[in-house]
Structure 1
Amino acid sequence: MNTPKSDWPSSLDDKELEELDRYLRAHAGEGDLMLDGVHGMLSAIAVGPLEVLPDEWLPEVLHDAFTDEGEGNRVLALLAKLNDSIGAELEVDAYEPILGEIDTESGPMLSAAGWCEGFSRGIDMRAVLWETRLAEDPTLMELLGPIMALAVDEGILSADTEFEKLTDDEYDDCLAQVPVVLGAVGDYWHTHQPTEAEVQAMLKPRNEEGEDGPPRQRSGHWVH
Structure 2
Amino acid sequence: MPETPVPQPLLDDDALDRLDDFLESERVDAEALDLIGAHGFLVALAVAPREIDPATWITELFHGEPEFADDAQRREILALFEALRDNAITALDEGLLPELPFELELGDIAPAETPIGDWCAGFMEAVFLDEAAWFEGDEEAAATLLLPFMALSGLFDDEPDMADLANDPMRLEDLVQQLPELVLDLYLHYRVPPEKPKPTPRKKKPAGRGKRRKT
So what's the TM-score if we normalise by structure 2? 0.68
Match of 1:97 in 2: 100
Shift of 1:24: 0.6
Alpha-carbon separation, structure 2, partners of 1:66 and 1:30: 15
Q: 1:143 to 1:127 in 2, by over 3 A?
A: closer
Match of 1:201 in 2: none
Match of 2:57 in 1: 57
Trace 1:132-147 onto structure 2 (pairs within 5 A): 132-133=136-137, 137-147=139-149
Task: Tell which structure's C-alpha radius of gyration is larger.
Answer: 2
Shift of 1:132: 4.3
State the percentage of identical aligned residues.
25
* C-alpha RMSD of matched pairs (Å): 3.2
Query: Quick check: 1:68 aligned with 2:63?
Result: no
Matched residue count: 177
Alpha-carbon separation, structure 2, partners of 1:95 and 1:105: 24
Contact 2:24–2:34 (8 Å) recurs in 1: yes
Alpha-carbon separation, structure 1, partners of 2:123 and 2:151: 13
Letter in 1 for 2:96: D
Contact 1:95–1:179 (8 Å) recurs in 2: yes
Contact 1:28–1:34 (8 Å) recurs in 2: no
Alpha-carbon separation, structure 1, partners of 2:136 and 2:108: 42
Letter in 1 for 2:99: E
* Secondary structure class of the residue paired with 2:24: helix
Q: 1:166 to 1:67 in 2, by over 3 A?
A: same
Q: 1:38 to 1:123 in 2, by over 3 A?
A: same
Contiguous gaps of at least 5 residues in structure 2: 195-215
Contact 1:11–1:85 (8 Å) recurs in 2: yes
Match of 1:173 in 2: 174
Contiguous gaps of at least 5 residues in structure 1: 3-7, 193-224
Match of 1:43 in 2: 43
Q: 1:138 to 1:94 in 2, by over 3 A?
A: closer
Alpha-carbon separation, structure 1, partners of 2:179 and 2:8: 18
Letter in 2 for 1:72: R
Letter in 2 for 1:76: L
Choose which of 87, 96, 116 in structure 2 pairs with 1:85: 87
Q: Which of the two has greater strand per residue?
A: 1
Q: 1:155 to 1:55 in 2, by over 3 A?
A: closer
Query: Which structure's relative contact order is higher, taking Cα pairs within 8 Å and 6+ residues apart?
Result: 1
Shift of 1:73: 2.4
Trace 1:1-224 onto structure 2 (pairs within 5 A): 11-26=10-25, 27-62=27-62, 63-90=65-92, 91-99=94-102, 110-133=114-137, 137-151=139-153, 154-155=154-155, 158-161=158-161, 162-163=163-164, 164-167=166-169, 169-190=170-191, 191=193
Shift of 1:156: 5.0
Shift of 1:89: 2.5
Shift of 1:110: 4.7
Alpha-carbon separation, structure 2, partners of 1:120 and 1:105: 23
Shift of 1:122: 0.7
Q: 1:92 to 1:139 in 2, by over 3 A?
A: closer
Shift of 1:88: 1.8
Letter in 2 for 1:121: E
